[in-house]
Structure 1
Amino acid sequence: MTAPLVGVVLVSHSAQVASAVADLAAGLTGGGGDVPVAPAGGGPDGGLGTSSDLIVAAARAVDRGAGVAVLADLGSAVLTVKALLADDELPSGARLVDAPFLEGAVAAVVTASSGADLDAVAAAAADAYTYRKT
């Protein structure tokens, strides 16, 4: 039996953005493990915004006991995740990762697919801040 993989939750103000980034990141694993990644995008009414309920459900869905890396796109998404963590509403081992949303998500999911632990997944996502395009 293989060790459980770190789960990744992508919190965006847009359901479409969260889903697209999750699909892209999962598609770039290069045949790695089946990383549990879940989008948590949009408000409770399906429009733009953030939903505590969607975030909690996504985190629980990807929790396999190895930790959950949570990446958020903008201010209120970050604040919502911080509040959920402070209130112990996310699974034990869940962590908000300070990383750029798209590049960090790809780095997190690809690193998790290799079986890396939560510290390595978080570090890879955070390192995406250093990616240069010129």
Structure 2
Amino acid sequence: MSAARPQVGIVLVSHSGAVADAVAELARGLAAGGATAPLAAAGGTPGGGLGTNADLIAEAARSVDGGAGIAVLVDLGSAVLTVKAMLAEDDELPAGSRLVDAPFVEGAVAALVTASAGGDLDAVEAAAAEAYVYRKV
């Protein structure tokens, strides 16, 4: 019997710990039906305030790193800047980490469903980014 193939990990970065946790819970619930790919929320500051924190993001990324890559989704502009700065440093995030341009909520759900189904990092990124075209009216 062969070992299970590693899954892409997903990190959700929000300025609010409550928002990051809620989106993670929603994505897990909508991915439904058992085990999902590794997912971690990295929201707010260590003291519970609003903002982003590189240490919390790095810790979340390490917690979901199984060797298949990490898709990082963010909520607002300064979170983008924080993650880009971390990616520019060789040792801030695990190898294979990638900032994904996608809507935060819909992208998180699409990314988790795709990663849980065994999609590679390119497929996870594409599914999350495709959420931009979901029409609501």
Q: TM-score, normalised by structure 2?
A: 0.95
Identity of aligned pairs, percent?
Answer: 71
Secondary structure (helix, strand or coil) at the match of 1:39 reads strand
Question: Which string of whole-angstrom CA distances, capped at 9 and with x for unpartnered residues, describes residues 69-108 of structure 1?
Answer: 0000001111000000001210000000000000000000
Report the alpha carbon displacement of residue 46 of structure 1 after superposing the two structures with TM.
1.3
Q: Is the 8 A contact 2:36 2:112 kept in 1?
A: no
Aligned match of 2:81 in 79, 82, 104?
79
Q: Is the 8 A contact 1:32 1:114 kept in 2?
A: no
Which runs of 5 or more residues in structure 1 are unaligned? Answer: none
Secondary structure (helix, strand or coil) at the match of 1:28 reads helix
Query: Residue 54 of structure 2 corresponds to which residue in structure 1?
Result: 52
4+ residue stretches of structure 1 with deviation over 4 A?
A: none
Report the alpha carbon displacement of residue 31 of structure 1 after superposing the two structures with TM.
1.8
Report the residue type matching 1:57 in the other structure. E
Query: Residue 113 of structure 2 corresponds to which residue in structure 1?
Result: 110
Report the residue type matching 2:73 in the other structure. L
Q: Is the 8 A contact 1:33 1:114 kept in 2?
A: no
In the alignment, structure 1 residue 121 sits paired with structure 2 residue 124: yes
Secondary structure (helix, strand or coil) at the match of 2:49 reads coil
Q: TM-score, normalised by structure 1?
A: 0.97
Report the alpha carbon displacement of residue 45 of structure 1 after superposing the two structures with TM.
2.2
Which runs of 5 or more residues in structure 2 are unaligned? Answer: none
CA RMSD, aligned part only?
0.9
Query: In the TM superposition, what are the counterparts of 1:1-134 in structure 2 within 5 Å?
Result: 1-31=3-33, 33-88=35-90, 89-134=92-137
